Amino acid sequence: MLIDAIVIGSGFGGITSAALLAKAGYDVLTLEAASELGGCASKFDRAGYRFSAGATVGMGFEEGGMLKKLFEELGAPLPPMKKLDEIMNVYLPDRTITYFSEKEKWYKEVAYKFDSDQDRVFSFFEEVFKVSKILQIFVEKRNIFPPSTVSEYFQLLKSMNVKLLGLAPYLTQSVQDRLSKYGLTENKPFMTFINGQLLDSVQTTATFCPSLLGYMALSIFHKGAFYVAGGLASIIHALAESYRASGGELRLRHKVVSIAKQGEVWTVMTKRGQVFRTKQVIMNAPIHNVFSLLEPELHQNLVIKEQKEREKDAWGAFTLYIGAEPSFMMKETSSIPFHQFISSYDSPLSEGNQFLFSMSQEGDTKFAPPGKRSITISTHTNVEKWWERERYENIKEEYTEKIIDSIDKKFSSFSSKIDVKMAGTPVTFKRYTQRAYGKVGGFIPSGKYSFLKSYSPNSGVEGLWFCGDTVFPGAGSLGSSLSGWIVADAIKGKHPEGDM
Ligand SMILES: Cc1cc2nc3c(=O)[nH]c(=O)nc-3n(C[C@H](O)[C@H](O)[C@H](O)COP(=O)(O)OP(=O)(O)OC[C@H]3O[C@@H](n4cnc5c(N)ncnc54)[C@H](O)[C@@H]3O)c2cc1C
């Protein structure tokens, strides 16, 4: 039997493609290696708690937001969630910044916390908001980028307008270049704050971050950040429900081990030896995995080259999953779900010096028993050291202690309120999400032009597509889902019956 499309992986990208294609009437099979859906946005249950495996902050659910539109397109109800006014507390070594969603409140906070530079900071954010509003028009077009075929170039040109063309000068600048135009680069607390935000969203700091990418990231909380009941896994499950309701088939614990092509037909083989045949393969495993899955004869036809991919950097994550009683925080503070800790201005914003602490909210019984909270903590880490067997347990202990000490410094009774504590490392991520070496979060932008060097969802080989955070538009649940939508659009356009 020839299946219309096979999706490999049920992360944000894969499940988005699968749900949209099934809704459009395609016969779709999704193969997922793990026993849980969602990859980096999945969940697991231990000792009476549910823990978010990685992703926690919801974005794109506001009116007109991409994920809100996706649910509308699917005719599916959005899971319960709360739009946050106070999104996050950022604890810098000498001050706490509350990230307000509403612009007026945000400007007041900025004026108070960065008072010596408040006018420059205002002007910088005004530019961020203005530019990202224009960019949003481009993002909404769901173009394949970078283009490689005549029709992709044509679509891209068609979506250009005068306002977008006016952004051309930003293409050759980093966020750091723009900040230096505003005279802000010497303001250490402000730069650390900006770098912390950029690292969490686009995986790099102002120096290496293309300005357009950085501006989109820095404006996103002001469009809307959300606390989703039961975590982002609830979104994945709602998309999977829509997919199944449209007739899509989903098989968990089905790891794909090889993808080959004979003529027009792709064969996808699982670890159990099952073979499935299809005309379209959508690979939601990251680009880091592509060369080990795809038959060697096809490597040369790919737009992506193996050596270049290996040279591109990506982070790993060290995570702590903690079940605790929340009285270590004041009630007002514990009603803010997200807390970013930065311990030192003088160390890199990774390896435990910077981490995101996400806590389930009071009454969210999907996450924790009454009176308790589920906490996921994550810090960026270099993957390499985690593959040295002899050092593994020691580093794990060292990072656990370092992070818990930092929290204890802010909330002195924290460690005494812990019920359950587990650590996750790049080795854990490799095991549960299949991501090669445990690399997560997409590629690290390497400079002002790296935006133009993104990998396209179109593999260059007829019938093979990529989606997820390693292809355009990249990082995060929102970017991954959008790439899945772009792929579904492209397949629908190519389907013999056209848009069904
Ligand atoms: C610690 C951490 C915190 C994060 N925080 C946030 C956040 O707060 N907000 C946010 O928006 N984003 C966040 N992100 C980023 C976000 O989680 C990811 O970018 C996004 O979920 C990636 O989706 P994806 O489509 O690339 O798929 P992935 O999450 O990589 O999932 C791919 C799926 O494919 C499956 N798979 C892989 N290979 C095979 C195979 N051979 N056969 C079958 N199945 C296979 C995997 O098991 C997995 O389920 C965070 C990421 C991490 C790691």
Q: Rounded CA gap, 325 and 327, in Å?
A: 6
Ligand 1 atom nearest residue 31's Cα:
43
Question: Distance, CA 60 to ligand 1 centroid (Å)?
Answer: 17
Q: Rounded CA gap, 424 and 420, in Å?
A: 14
194 occurs within a structural domain: yes
Question: Distance, CA 104 to ligand 1 centroid (Å)?
Answer: 34
Look at residues 483, 125, 47 and name the one whose alpha carbon lies nearest to residue 282.
483
Q: Is the CB of 282 under 6 A from ligand 1?
A: no
Per DSSP, the three-state class of 251 is: strand
Q: Tell me what pLDDT residue 29 has.
A: 98
Q: Whose CA is nearest to atom 18 of ligand 1?
A: 476
pLDDT mean for each 10 residues of the chain (500 residues): 97 98 98 98 97 98 96 98 97 97 93 93 96 90 90 87 90 96 97 98 96 95 96 98 98 98 96 97 97 93 89 96 97 95 98 98 96 98 96 98 98 97 98 97 91 91 97 93 97 55
Q: Which residue out of 66, 381, 477, 486 has the highest number of ligand 1 atoms within 8 Å of its CB and is therefore the one to mutate?
A: 477
Q: Which of the listed residues 204, 223, 242 is the one where a domain comes to its end?
A: 223
Q: Which of the listed residues 223, 249, 280 is the one where a domain comes to its end?
A: 223
Q: b or e along 112-134 (b: 16 or more beta carbons within 10 Å of the residue's beta carbon)?
A: ebbeebeebbeebbebbeebbeb
Structure tokens at 399: 């990072």
Question: Distance, CA 475 to ligand 1 centroid (Å)?
Answer: 10
Residues 147 and 285 in one domain: no
Chain center to CA of 465: 19
Per DSSP, the three-state class of 149 is: coil
Residues 105 and 218 in one domain: yes
Q: Which domain holds residue 240?
A: 2-42+231-311+435-494
Look at residues 214, 118, 225, 227 and name the one whose alpha carbon lies nearest to residue 174.
214
Residues 209 and 302 in one domain: no
Question: Distance, CA 433 to ligand 1 centroid (Å)?
Answer: 7
Q: Whose CA is nearest to atom 16 of ligand 1?
A: 476
Q: Is the CB of 12 under 6 A from ligand 1?
A: yes
340 occurs within a structural domain: no
* Whole-Å CA distances, 216 to 11, 125, 197, 202: 22, 11, 12, 10
Question: Distance, CA 11 to ligand 1 centroid (Å)?
Answer: 5
Per DSSP, the three-state class of 124 is: helix
Which helix (H) or strand (E) is 45 found in, with range? strand 43-46
Q: Tell me what pLDDT residue 495 has.
A: 36
Q: Tell me what pLDDT residue 280 has.
A: 98
Q: Rounded CA gap, 395 and 416, in Å?
A: 23
Ligand 1 atom nearest residue 376's Cα:
1
Q: Tell me what pLDDT residue 499 has.
A: 38
Structure tokens at 278: 């299809």
Number of domains in the chain: 2
500 occurs within a structural domain: no
402 occurs within a structural domain: no
Sorted by sequence, the CB contacts under 8 Å of residue 454 that are 6+ apart come out as 145, 146, 471, 472, 473, 474
Residues 266 and 300 in one domain: yes
Look at residues 440, 442, 449, 477 and name the one whose alpha carbon lies nearest to residue 209.
449
414 occurs within a structural domain: no
Look at residues 74, 11, 76, 6 and name the one whose alpha carbon lies nearest to residue 37.
11
Q: Is the CB of 32 under 6 A from ligand 1?
A: yes
Q: Which residue out of 10, 284, 315 has the highest number of ligand 1 atoms within 8 Å of its CB and is therefore the one to mutate?
A: 284
Q: Is the CB of 364 under 6 A from ligand 1?
A: no
Which helix (H) or strand (E) is 172 found in, with range? none
Residues 442 and 303 in one domain: yes
Q: Rounded CA gap, 95 and 50, in Å?
A: 32
Q: What DSSP string runs through 145-193? A: SS--SHHHHHHHHHT--HHHHTTGGGGG-BHHHHHHHTT-TT-HHHHHH
Ligand 1 atom nearest residue 378's Cα:
1
406 occurs within a structural domain: no
Residues 173 and 35 in one domain: no
Question: Distance, CA 48 to ligand 1 centroid (Å)?
Answer: 24
Ligand 1 atom nearest residue 481's Cα:
25
* Whole-Å CA distances, 411 to 250, 294, 329, 405, 414: 44, 49, 6, 10, 6
- β-bridge pairing 314-324 and 58-59: unpaired
Please name every residue paired with 265 in a beta bridge, in sequence order, or none if there are none. Answer: 262
Q: Tell me what pLDDT residue 474 has.
A: 86
Q: Which amino acid is at 279?
A: K
Residues 196 and 261 in one domain: no
Residues 235 and 217 in one domain: no
Question: Distance, CA 329 to ligand 1 centroid (Å)?
Answer: 30
Output the CA torsion sign for 190, 196, 201, 202.
positive
Residues 196 and 237 in one domain: no
378 occurs within a structural domain: no
Q: Is the CB of 34 under 6 A from ligand 1?
A: yes
Which helix (H) or strand (E) is 324 found in, with range? strand 314-324
Q: Tell me what pLDDT residue 139 has.
A: 86
Q: Which of the listed residues 223, 247, 278 is the one where a domain comes to its end?
A: 223
Q: Is the CB of 476 under 6 A from ligand 1?
A: yes
38 occurs within a structural domain: yes
* Whole-Å CA distances, 205 to 1, 112, 364, 378, 452: 49, 24, 34, 17, 18
Which helix (H) or strand (E) is 282 found in, with range? strand 275-283
Q: Whose CA is nearest to atom 20 of ligand 1?
A: 477
Ligand 1 atom nearest residue 56's Cα:
8
Q: Which residue out of 40, 283, 320 has the highest number of ligand 1 atoms within 8 Å of its CB and is therefore the one to mutate?
A: 40
Ligand 1 atom nearest residue 270's Cα:
42
Residues 111 and 171 in one domain: yes
Instruction: Please state whether the peptide bond connecting residue 473 to the residue before it is cis, i.e. omega within 30 degrees of 0.
Output: yes
CATH number of domain containing 451? 3.50.50.60
Q: Is the CB of 435 under 6 A from ligand 1?
A: yes
Q: Rounded CA gap, 417 and 375, in Å?
A: 12
Q: Is the CB of 433 under 6 A from ligand 1?
A: yes
Residues 161 and 298 in one domain: no
Ligand 1 atom nearest residue 38's Cα:
49
Q: Rounded CA gap, 449 and 208, in Å?
A: 9
Q: Tell me what pLDDT residue 498 has.
A: 39
Are the beta carbons of 59 and 476 closer than 8 angstroms?
yes
- DSSP annotation of 435 reads -
Residues 278 and 202 in one domain: no
